[in-house]
Amino acid sequence: MRVLVIGSGAREHALLLALRRDPQVEELAVAPGNAGTQSIADQYDVDITSGEAVVKLAKRLESDLVVIGPEVPLVLGVADAVRAAGIACFGAGKDAARIEGSKAFAKDVMAAAGVRTATSEIVDNPARLDAALDRFGPPAGQAAWVVKDDGLAAGKGVVVSADRDAARAHAASLLDSGHPVLLESFLDGPEVSLFCVVDGATVVPLLPAQDFKRVGDGDTGPNTGGMGAYAPLPWLPDSVKSQIVDEIVKPVAAELVARGSSFSGLLYAGLAITSNGPAVVEFNCRFGDPETQSVLALLDSPLGQLLNAAATGELASYGDLQWRDGYAVTVVVAAENYPGRPRVGDVIHGSEADGVLHAGTARREDGEVVSSGGRVLSVVGTGADLPAAREAAYALTKSIRLPGSHFRSDIGLAAAEGRISIQGA
């Protein structure tokens, strides 16, 4: 099987490593890739938001399967173009990708499917903002205001704050930019990320994970694209995972089929395990980063065959997934000033060790690897238990040298210390 992966982040690096373990995958290519992926796949520089460009490359490479990693090409319909060209593609079509591309669409789907989620309101007029804020947040008995960009924001369009001024400023800035604002009620309880490979009404769940969005230890500072993750979750009963699949993911998949927007690809459910049960925080139409790095580190089933089964309508007959024993922890090493405008162009030492996945990196003509983005590297450690996986990840993280870089020191710590619990579990 010849596989072309679209994307350039640590998620795509993790996908390539897992695909390389599949005995049926004979050739790997990536577009555009990064300094880390070039050692495991042929790299091509194309416009990944152009269906025409991706199709042209896939035909040139005689690809059997195209795997689209990032959300932007999915929302723009690149997967539709690939499938229309007669090439198997793992990735949601444009209509189905609205589950991430439009939070209003996602809310409508969830309402029709009877799925529990936060109450919400769309604000598209600045004159309505103050009254809407009064209906959400601490004065309404909530722990905080939740303000989201209605469209794609790479994980950074959300503000959760008990400070009304901060919430209002974020909402006003979005409205000033022409972006509708979604206000939501606050959901209590620990968060869970559950990836599911989906084809129509068929749903195959992967391991549950938990990620860390805030830039600083103790969940402080602004939201980011994700500063780390771990999997599986020792505090989440199997019964709750089954409940998420049966009461949330399957009904949403069925509703998309009923609307003529059948989902084929990776459906990511971001959830809060509230006192009333699991509730949806958000849906994404692709593998999430950094959870992917932890989840795929533990996958024992052949990934290429799994993704190809979904892409060719054979997912229902694929069978049960196999997982390695133990845990995986991912720590993101970020550039100075991230999530603001990051410092770039610095030489990175220690980036080519096993377990280090590249995201914002590039290779200079002299062969040196340099930083080229905000989230520079993802460091993955595995172990028999969560403390051992944390120890392995942080030992490797501390061996990396990048001027001004920073990372969180508490990824998975609360779970490792037994400080996370579910009410009623």
pLDDT of the residue at 7: 98
Q: What is the CATH number of domain 121-184?
A: 3.30.1490.20
Distance CA(33)–CA(85), nearest Å, equals: 23
Predicted structure pTM score: 0.90
pLDDT of the residue at 156: 53
| Secondary structure string (H, E, C) spanning 132-192 | HHHHCCHHHCCCCEEEEECCCCCCCCEEEECCHHHHHHHHHHHHHCCCCEEEECCCCCCEE
Q: Which residues contact 98 (CB under 8 A, 6 or more apart)?
A: 75, 105, 106, 261
pLDDT of the residue at 28: 98
Q: Give the domain ranges of the chain.
A: 2-94, 121-184
58-86, pLDDT tens digit by residue? 999 999 999 999 999 999 999 999 999 99
pLDDT of the residue at 155: 54
CATH architecture of 2-94: 3-Layer(aba) Sandwich (3.40)
Distance CA(117)–CA(278), nearest Å, equals: 8
Beta strands 202-211 and 191-199 are: antiparallel
pLDDT of the residue at 136: 76
Ranges of residues in the chain whose predicted pLDDT is under 50: none
Distance CA(383)–CA(329), nearest Å, equals: 9
Q: Which residues contact 82 (CB under 8 A, 6 or more apart)?
A: 51, 54, 55, 58, 66, 68, 89, 91
pLDDT of the residue at 401: 98
Residue 252's Cβ-count burial label (10 Å; 0-12, 13-18, 19+) is: buried
